[in-house]
């Protein structure tokens, strides 16, 4: 059995710049990977069956993104092998940290290797997009400026940073936020390069804060911290984060979070851990 990481991501900003006729939103965002990961373990089966041994409560197996990714790759590649999947879930669900998408991408990357398919990145990215708009960046494997619905990716170099991520006690529905009548969809597009991450914002943040007071409360606590370069919500929430230039500053802030709040400290990565060997 082989074990692989599925890292979390944060969106350093997220601009909604339009909407396609099919309802998908046009975005501009910067994804950053974090040193905070789910763990996926796989063992090849000769019988073609795909079996998840660690089901998530409330998620039917056929809807699990790991299972869907494995079945899609199996179908599209024509391989007759199967897989046993064991998922150790660390990334909170409904938190805007991309856990499910990351799990799907790690499944594609790992099975491409373990099934001996040798598909290239673009083939896997195209497959990932069928599973969700955030899956391609995890297959792409580098911190990225993303456009379109999240599939047009350009690698970006980001400064070293540490993050305090807080986890409000709510799960936010991405679909609910993107269909909200309060969401503005006309942010002026920016060009890359150059752009400043710190001049960006998250267009979803005000809508989520209005609907989920806990998110607003956690974010306000982060905004009053000193020595932060960014304090914002990731993706469609619920998780919020503050960026620091040093580990000690992030950990000091974490030690002072109010009773009842939960979160974690993580280092910002330059690359997806499964892609570092490609350098």
Residues tagged active-site: 9, 134
Q: How far is CA 13 from the centre of its chain?
A: 13
Torsion angles phi and psi, residue 168, rounded to 5: -60, 155
What is the 3-class SS of 188-253, one letter each residue? CCCCCCCCCHHHCCECCHHHHHHHCHHHHHHHHHHHCCCCCCEEEECCCCCCEEEEECCHHHHHHH
Half-sphere exposure of residue 151: CA atoms within 13 angstroms, side-chain side: 16
DSSP 69: H
**Distance between CA 16 and CA 209 in Å, rounded?**
17
Our separate counts of H helices and E strands in the chain read 8, 10
**Distance between CA 73 and CA 114 in Å, rounded?**
12
Which residues face 84 on adjacent strands? 43, 51
What are the C-alpha distances in Å from 45 to residues 53, 115, 242, 261, 263? 13, 10, 43, 43, 37
* Maximum Cα interatomic distance, the chain, rounded to a whole number of Å: 57
Rg (the chain; Cα; Å): 18
Asked whether 42 and 111 are in contact (CB, 8 A), the reply is yes
Residue 179 neighbours by CB under 8 Å, 6+ apart: none
């Amino acid at each position: 059995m082989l074990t692989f990481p599925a890292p979390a991501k944060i969106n350093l900003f997220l601009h909604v710049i339009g909407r396609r006729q099919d309802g998908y939103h046009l975005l501009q965002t910067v994804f950053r990977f974090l040193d905070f990961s789910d763990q996926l373990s796989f063992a090849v089966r000769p019988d073609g069956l795909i079996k998840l041994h660690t089901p998530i409560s409330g998620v039917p197996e056929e809807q699990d993104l790991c299972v869907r990714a494995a079945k899609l790759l199996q179908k599209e590649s024509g391989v007759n092998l199967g897989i046993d999947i064991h998922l150790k879930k660390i990334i909170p669900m409904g938190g805007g940290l991309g856990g499910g998408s990351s799990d799907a991408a790690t499944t594609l990357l790992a099975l491409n290797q373990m099934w001996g398919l040798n598909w290239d990145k673009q083939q896997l990215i195209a497959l990932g997009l069928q599973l969700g708009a955030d899956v391609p960046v995890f297959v792409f494997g580098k911190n990225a400026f993303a456009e379109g619905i999240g599939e047009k990716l350009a690698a970006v170099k980001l400064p070293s940073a540490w993050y305090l991520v807080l986890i409000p006690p709510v799960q936010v529905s991405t679909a609910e936020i993107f269909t909200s009548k309060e969401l503005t969809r006309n942010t002026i597009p920016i060009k890359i390069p150059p752009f400043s991450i710190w001049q960006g914002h998250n267009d979803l943040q005000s809508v989520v804060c209005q609907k989920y007071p806990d998110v607003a409360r956690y974010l306000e606590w982060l905004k009053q911290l000193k020595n932060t370069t960014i304090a914002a919500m990731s993706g469609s929430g619920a998780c919020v984060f503050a960026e620091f230039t040093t580990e000690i500053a992030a950990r000091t802030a974490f030690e002072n979070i109010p009773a009842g709040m939960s979160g974690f400290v993580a280092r910002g990565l330059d690359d997806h851990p499964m892609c570092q060997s490609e350098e």
